[in-house]
């Protein structure tokens, strides 16, 4: 492998590029074991530190996962397809089904780490809901898991004057979830807005979602509004970036 040209990338990056291409082409498939340090040392005639750097590049990119005592493997990427309009349709939650059932209708979805209580609205939440800062809101935090794997964190905020004392303020909101309960209160969501941002996780998020090094998260910030454009919920979601494909359909 040529390394004498000052314009050439470092050897470890050349090795990482070669392995990355093998993964992208399918020669190294999902879940396949990647050549380890000893294999790379022998194949490329490099020092252990160079081989380790090459593998670290792919680990930090989230392409491969290191399993202690076993080796390094291509990350198995079988993402859920999150269809924005379909999952928020009234036909879904109005019939008593949960929004996440649109993502994995046959999947073993469950929620845990549920926290519900009244808190003063942070500034950005108050702005989204059209409230004065520090107005009381009902805060609902939960984690979603599929087949035991953490997939998403979600924190909803609803005006306390609307949600306090209702099933929305309970751990189990009942069939159809928050939106079905809002409909019963005469505040059915009719419009939604979503903003999407991609970033690296905080240490707490990485722990709660059990993220491997190099895995980004997607923030989905959704506001639910009534037909009169009254904001009734602000939902702050943090998704495992390796677990989802976001799909949106538009008419021309």
Q: What are phi and psi of 98, to 5 degrees?
A: -80, 150
Q: Can you tell me the mean pLDDT for 149-168?
A: 96
Distance from C-alpha of 199 to C-alpha of 211, rounded to nearest angstrom: 13
Token pair belonging to 19: 């392995």
Q: Domain residues of the chain, as ranges? A: 11-74, 80-247
- List the CATH code of the domain at 11-74: 1.10.10.10
Domain pair 11-74 / 80-247, same fold: no
Q: What are phi and psi of 187, to 5 degrees?
A: -130, 45
DSSP 33: B
Cα distances from 170 to residues 2, 49, 96, 117, 194, in angstroms, run 64, 54, 17, 9, 25
pLDDT per residue over 111-126, tens digit each?
899 999 999 999 999 9
- Strand (E) or helix (H) holding 237: strand 231-240
Distance from C-alpha of 98 to C-alpha of 205, rounded to nearest angstrom: 24
Distance from C-alpha of 234 to C-alpha of 131, rounded to nearest angstrom: 12
Decide the pairing of beta strands 80-83 and 244-247. parallel
Residue 93 has pLDDT above 80, yes or no: no
Looking at domain 80-247, does it have CATH number 3.40.1410.10? yes
pLDDT per residue over 202-236, tens digit each?
999 999 999 877 789 999 999 999 999 999 999 99
């Amino acid at each position: 492998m040529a390394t004498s040209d000052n314009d050439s990338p470092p050897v470890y990056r050349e090795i990482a590029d070669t392995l990355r291409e093998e993964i992208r082409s399918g020669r190294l498939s999902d879940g396949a074991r990647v050549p380890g340090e000893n294999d790379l040392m022998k194949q490329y005639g490099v020092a252990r530190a160079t081989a380790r750097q090459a593998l670290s590049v792919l680990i930090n990119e989230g392409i491969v996962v290191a399993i202690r005592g076993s080796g390094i493997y291509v990350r198995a990427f079988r993402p859920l397809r999150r269809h924005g309009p379909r999952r928020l349709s009234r036909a879904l939650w109005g019939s008593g089904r949960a929004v996440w059932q649109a993502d994995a209708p046959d999947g073993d979805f469950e929620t845990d780490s549920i926290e519900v209580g009244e808190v003063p609205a942070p500034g950005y939440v108050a702005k989204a809901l059209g409230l004065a800062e520090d107005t009381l809101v009902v805060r609902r935090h939960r984690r979603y898991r599929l087949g035991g794997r953490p997939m998403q964190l979600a924190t909803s905020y609803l005006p306390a004057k609307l949600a306090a004392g209702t099933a929305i303020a309970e751990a189990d909101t009942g069939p159809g979830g928050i939106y079905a309960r809002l409909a019963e209160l005469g505040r059915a969501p009719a419009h939604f807005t979503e903003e999407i941002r991609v970033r690296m996780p905080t240490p707490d998020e990485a722990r709660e979602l059990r993220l491997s090094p190099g895995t980004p998260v997607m923030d989905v910030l959704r506001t639910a509004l009534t037909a009169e454009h009254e904001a009734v919920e602000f939902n702050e979601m943090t998704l495992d970036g390796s677990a989802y494909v976001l799909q949106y359909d538009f008419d021309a």
